[in-house]
């Protein structure tokens, strides 16, 4: 990732992309918080990774003192969602393995599924708390100030957009 100065056109294009990606992340938030929707956390994690990629393109366009903390926030969001996704993948693998397991192995697989499901539920609580701490009004104001109203959470929800 280059820290060289970017052209005005590059910076405007990256700012537009950053705003769109933050909007997609905010749109993915409600589904991520639903425990019954295993895809929600995955979609939000994908959205957060796309925010990070867009922000990587904008390095050199803005002063580091305010740009770096926003990039770190996006990285923290990705990390907060990782444990849930890992548990969902494990549950899918154990469920598939159970279908092919011999009868003597099924009780052990069932115990694993129960344990991992509990870990996933605990990860949801941790993730919700982490997102609550990260996604403050201060962050919303900062995103709107730096990248326009499209990047702010209220704007994304009001438009009823979808994540991409």
In a domain, 3, yes or no: no
Taking residue 160's Cβ as centre, other Cβ atoms within 10 Å add up to 7
Q: Which residues of 41-80 are buried (b: 16+ CB within 10 A; e: fewer)?
A: bbbbbbbbbbbbebbebbbbbbeeeebeebbebbeebbeb
State mean pLDDT over 126-135.
Answer: 82
In a domain, 143, yes or no: yes
When pLDDT is cut at 50, 70 and 90, the band that residue 54 belongs to is very high
Pick the more confident residue, 156 or 121.
121
State the pLDDT at residue 128: 86
Q: What is the average per-residue pLDDT within 125-147?
A: 85
In the DSSP assignment, the letter for residue 4 is: S
Within-domain flag for 153: yes
Q: Would 151 be classed as within a structural domain?
A: yes
Predicted confidence band of residue 164 (pLDDT cuts 50, 70, 90) = very low
Question: What average pLDDT does this structure show over 22-51?
Answer: 90
Residue 127 lies in a domain: yes
Residue 24 lies inside a defined structural domain of this protein: yes
The average pLDDT across 59-78 equals 90
Q: How many separate domains does the chain show? A: 1
- Average the pLDDT over 90-102 and give the result: 94
- The answer to whether residue 164 is domain-embedded is no
**116: domain range?**
8-159
The CA distances from residue 119 to 42, 88, 110, 130, in Å, are: 16, 10, 14, 16
Q: Is the pTM of this model over 0.95?
A: no
DSSP annotation string for 30-99: HHHH-TT-HHHHHHHHHHHHHHHHHHHHTTTTS-HHHHHHHHHHHHHHHHHHHHHHHHHHHHHHHHHHHH
Does residue 160 carry a pLDDT above 50? no
């Amino acid at each position: 990732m280059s820290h060289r100065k970017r052209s005005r056109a590059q910076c405007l294009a990256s700012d537009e992309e950053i705003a769109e990606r933050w909007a997609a992340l905010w749109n993915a938030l409600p589904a991520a918080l639903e425990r019954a929707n295993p895809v929600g956390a995955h979609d939000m994690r994908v959205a957060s990774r796309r925010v990070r990629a867009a922000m990587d393109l904008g390095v050199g366009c803005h002063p580091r003192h305010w740009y770096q903390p926003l990039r770190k926030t996006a990285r923290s969001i990705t990390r907060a969602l990782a444990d849930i996704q890992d548990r969902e993948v494990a549950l899918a693998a154990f469920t598939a393995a159970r279908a092919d397991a011999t009868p003597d192995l099924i009780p052990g697989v069932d115990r694993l599924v129960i344990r991992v499901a509990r870990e996933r539920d605990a990860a949801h609580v941790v993730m919700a708390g982490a997102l609550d701490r990260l996604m403050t009004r201060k962050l919303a104001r900062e995103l709107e100030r730096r990248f326009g109203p499209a990047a702010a959470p209220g704007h994304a929800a009001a438009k009823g957009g979808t994540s991409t």
